[in-house]
Structure 1
């Protein structure tokens, strides 16, 4: 039951009046932080879409209409931020208070007029099982207790400060709220703010999904028919009787689909034969046997199939780009059902997608759940090596393919460091593996060594395969990624199937400065579109893990791929003596390179350089040995 927050009690006017311009600057500077605080305090019963919009609306209305004066406390530290934070907290607690039967709704208890979104559902990205468990635990707290928990974890360090802020926000019994927040059981990392600062609770980093398109279409069609029918009937009745006639319409009847009904029956789930992958024409997810301690739990499987077919408002749904989230056309295949950390996980496959269903462990399906989709059509033994079964505090557990004989973890930025063996249980579930760090922190890049294959986590269900060599190569050389691994960061959550690194040229630099290296990184997606290509240059003398400079890029391009196995790139380079040069390099089949614009000249062979003024922009073109042309990556 929600604890009520009473109206704030009057206080003595502070010695210093807070300037409204300073408060506005603090709101703009700390806007994501304030919206996260408001989102976490608002009642979960609103649903994630409504909570996101309400949190943004309340923060945007936090500035007063007049300058703050008497009755508004002037907090220590940053007065502007503390003042706006207090107003946001008051508004969130006020929105969470129960409304009397005949009382008017308060701000935040009705859908906000702005921001307004039509035809889309907005919600933060889903985290792992621990984030899901924390969200459920916070939902069981009263609004003041949620505020106490969040303030203590991410805003204030001492209970004394939390108590003072809750008292200023109008909470009737701050001590009881703190006690309630202290007593709740939460996953590790929750009370230190680690989980609360994850993407699960970030209402400024959102995913967009359409509303129920079929239902919306039926309602629109029904409304149009009703309006037309009303107009016709009204006109006839007015013509005959001179008075208004009745108005009404019915939605079209729902037609049951036999295939869809079969997809909801756990008894009809398909299961690959154990060991069938050994004689499959092309081993892939379709040849994975069903594994896990809950593979025969009919009630769990029924819940997973039902949530897949009709996800409710409490289900966190994510999907890689280009992946449909609709129900299966028929009975899917069971890959895994078991307990992973604090969650119960079911992995399913329908030939096009791998689907992960997760619910809190011991909850029996009550409360929120998570549903993740990843497109995996045409997966083979090289790309169907592992699937993520759980994420906790930046660590990942994988279910490995039955043909993976050994598993290890290695750091791509430390090629001289040996791989660390990775333990797996009898079902093939690995111990936790640290995932790549967030953007801006690339001190290490963990990768999975699964037998002879190399893969890395890019924030999706299926890790991306890493290969090295000329286009079409299947080799996996971990040491080749030392200067380019951090460039994988922008590929997160893009539906990447495989990334190939091609060391396409060595170039002797002018002035006996040594040899520079040219790389082309090509990322291909499961959907066949949206490929990304980067050209990079590494000067000599760099430290082992120094990242090569990006000198060209392209999207949806065949460059550096099997359809166009060529490369050409260029850039400016400054020698140790201070002289500037325009460098250019192509793959081995490039016969000559021409520069125009800020630099002029033509050089035979796959590499070239010309003296250039600082900031010069050269237009490059290349000629292949067979007479064809090759365009540069810009």
Structure 2
């Protein structure tokens, strides 16, 4: 099944951007565009044909229509509007033009004639052209009940409403921008479509947006099944007979045909995005822009390093990015594209670090790329790719410049006014100042080790400049990738802190919690994690008095959006770094996020006198809790302790204030 764009054609008279830039934007954001087309296409096509048609719509997005007028037509690429991304969505003129064509073509399928695709020819704009897949049926992976219900609701909605949902929730466009896109694409009454889409999404737009980004609506990640095997066998036999007849007919006709030469076009080379690989076209931010911008992320980083003017080094890095040498070592974080840049990337750093020449690029708000070559000139180059879309003042605070098995050097953001190191397994030990060079690169810093007994967990404690935020210190830790991971903490109910978003993990309570849970971060290495939050969702009095136990939900959010949860039980312990007991683990879940704020969990616990108990606890909105199984009991409060045999089988249930069940974490 061809998943690459068709050969380039002229975009139309009056186009102001080159076709190569538009094609590069299409290739770079191909999965996003195909998902949008799949959403808009009529579900009546069936999932197999809908998948193929979505790919075809995107692949044909660069082709021209029949008209070619003196004025810039609707199909021409518009003039440059803006660059980079906003809310993770590309805002280049090339991407905007390609997206418009995709939406227009997808909407056209809703207006096809009833007899299409029959024997009569359809209008050119509606003529189908899909990739051919023989012997297999393709369909996206199934989601949950919520995704299925949404898919059924969308099947009853007009294509313009589905397009409006895609514009608002997949593309994150404002109401005015979405209306303009729908109008340009020929959607008719765009305002009515947006109102209907708003009613369909209800009050929780974020939840519907997550469902639209799930596997249920992803035509790039598909499952396969065979077609009707008996019918296919009969068709093969009939086809073989037809081929024999055609061969006989051809043998009689070919002698009468004069040889006119081979008019087939030569194969086109793979396109490269114009000046994107030109070292002189690299974007460079002024040194003080970070202090005078509302977008504090990698786009505000200036170009630093002693070799930022070394054109030869930069050209080797760019050309190797587009066409890596055979011996190059390439690593990429999960969900990170390795294709060449669509537009000139931003230079963040170029310099000599340890025994390597290192170059760091920022590509359009989506990726950071590290290129390194041995300073001696002997050895293979390395490339490392990582996602950084929607990075902010904390997640764009540092990048790994070089790494060994035991240490790493970091390039700090220009807004970092103070830096130190500390050990999460020594919460009472003050942070130690970290030496940073004039180019923003730190001295070697110890990194957490994969093996061993987890005797230490080093982290960076950074402080933002007061020019952008006052008294803001935060922690980041190394999990083996380009971008360190932001660590946060949400305090327990009853601590006097209101329920709100996670806060920085620099206070005594946060450090105490991380001292007992830090070693669980080992399982997150090289998984594309953006941030990890420790939510102390309950504090439970224990039988026999004494100190209470804490319940912690450790949630890791990835740059791709998926979440991974560890629910951990922290009974009183003699050591402040005694490891928590992992109660359950969940992947690809909204639990313990702002979209999953209610939780209940249970665990076995042995009291100091040797007695065994089943404990259960819920988050702050839990009103009633119940334990069933080989031991039974309930309480009108968010915690419960029942004496039970060791290893007793049990289930935990709970209800919220005002009614409604609470999801159990295992």
Is TM > 0.5 for Structure 1 vs Structure 2?
Answer: yes
Q: Is 1:277–1:287's contact at 8 Å kept on the other side of the alignment?
A: yes
Report the equivalent of 1:466.
Answer: 487
Q: Which aligned segments of 4 or more residues in structure 1 are displaced greater than 4 angstroms?
A: 230-242, 248-252, 255-258
Equivalence for 1:576:
608
Q: 2:451 aligns with which of 418, 432, 439?
A: 439
**Residue of structure 2 in register with 1:587 after alignment:** 619
Following the alignment from structure 1 to structure 2, what is the Cα–Cα distance between the partners of residues 232 and 256?
39
Question: For residues 576 and 480 of structure 1, what CA distance do their matches in structure 2 show?
Answer: 22
Does the 8 Å CA contact 2:359/2:371 hold for their aligned counterparts? yes
| Structure 2 Cα separation of the partners of residues 475 and 386 of structure 1 | 16
SS of the residue 1:615 aligns to: coil
Match of 1:210 in 2: none
Q: Which residue does the alignment assign to 1:628?
A: 660
Change (3 A) 1:543 1:344: same
Task: Indicate if the aligned counterparts of 1:481 and 1:501 stay in contact, CA closer than 8 A.
Answer: yes
* Residue aligning to 1:396: 408
Alignment of 1:185-584 (within 5 A): 253-255=267-269, 257=271, 260-350=273-363, 351-363=365-377, 367-451=379-463, 452-469=473-490, 472-477=501-506, 478-529=511-562, 531-584=563-616
Distance 1:518 1:257, change over 3 A: same
Flag the 1:353–1:593 CA change in 2: closer, same or farther, 3 A. same
**Alpha-carbon contact 2:501-2:594 (below 8 Å) kept:** yes
Please identify, of 468-477 and 297-306, the stretch whose mean Cα deviation from structure 2 is larger.
468-477
| 1:261-297 deviations in Å (ceiling 9; x for gaps) | 2111000000111110111112000000000000000
TM-superposed deviation, 1:575: 1.5
In 2, Cα distance between equivalents of 1:549 and 1:576: 17
Deviation at 1:256, TM superposition (A): 6.5
| 1:233 to 1:267, Cα distance in 2 relative to 1, 3 A | farther
CA distance 1:251–1:577, shift in 2 (3 Å):
farther
Structure 1 residue 495 displacement after superposition: 0.4
Q: Is the 8 A contact 2:296 2:393 kept in 1?
A: yes
Q: Deviation of residue 335 (structure 1)?
A: 0.2
Relative to the length of structure 2, the TM-score reads 0.57
Give the whole-Å Cα distance in 2 for the aligned partners of 1:455 and 1:447.
6
Aligned residue for 1:393, secondary structure, equals: coil
Q: Distance in 1 between matches of 2:266 and 2:574?
A: 68
C-alpha displacement of 1:343: 0.4
| Unpaired runs of at least 5, structure 1 | 1-229
CA deviation after TM superposition for structure 1 residue 554, in Å: 1.2
8 Å CA contact 2:512, 2:576 repeated in 1: no
Instruction: Give the CA deviation at 1:630.
Output: 1.0
Gaps of 5+ in 2: 1-242, 464-472, 492-499
Give 1:241 shift. 9.7
Report how far residue 627 of structure 1 moved: 1.9
User: 2:655, 2:263 → 1: CA distance?
Assistant: 69
Q: CA deviation at 1:518?
A: 1.1
1:478-517 CA distance string (max 9 Å, x none)? 3431100000000000100000011222211112353211
Q: Could you tell me how far 1:236 is from its partner in structure 2?
A: 7.2
Residues 427-474 of structure 1, C-alpha deviation per residue, up to 9 Å, x if partnerless? 110000111011343000000001101000000000000001156223
Give the total of aligned pairs.
Answer: 400
CA contact (8 A) 1:264 1:306 kept: yes
SS in 1 for 2:438: coil
Cα offset for 1:240?
7.6
Give yes or no for contact 2:600–2:654 (8 Å, CA) kept in 1: yes
1:235 and 1:615 map into 2 onto residues whose CA distance is 78
> Could you tell me how far apart the structure 2 residues matched to 1:348 and 1:407 are?
23
Between the aligned partners of 1:251 and 1:596, the Cα distance in structure 2 is: 73
Q: Secondary structure of 2:320's match?
A: helix
| Contact 1:513–1:575 (8 Å) recurs in 2 | no
Moved more, 472-481 or 562-571: 472-481
Q: Distance in 1 between matches of 2:340 and 2:409?
A: 26
SS in 2 for 1:552: strand
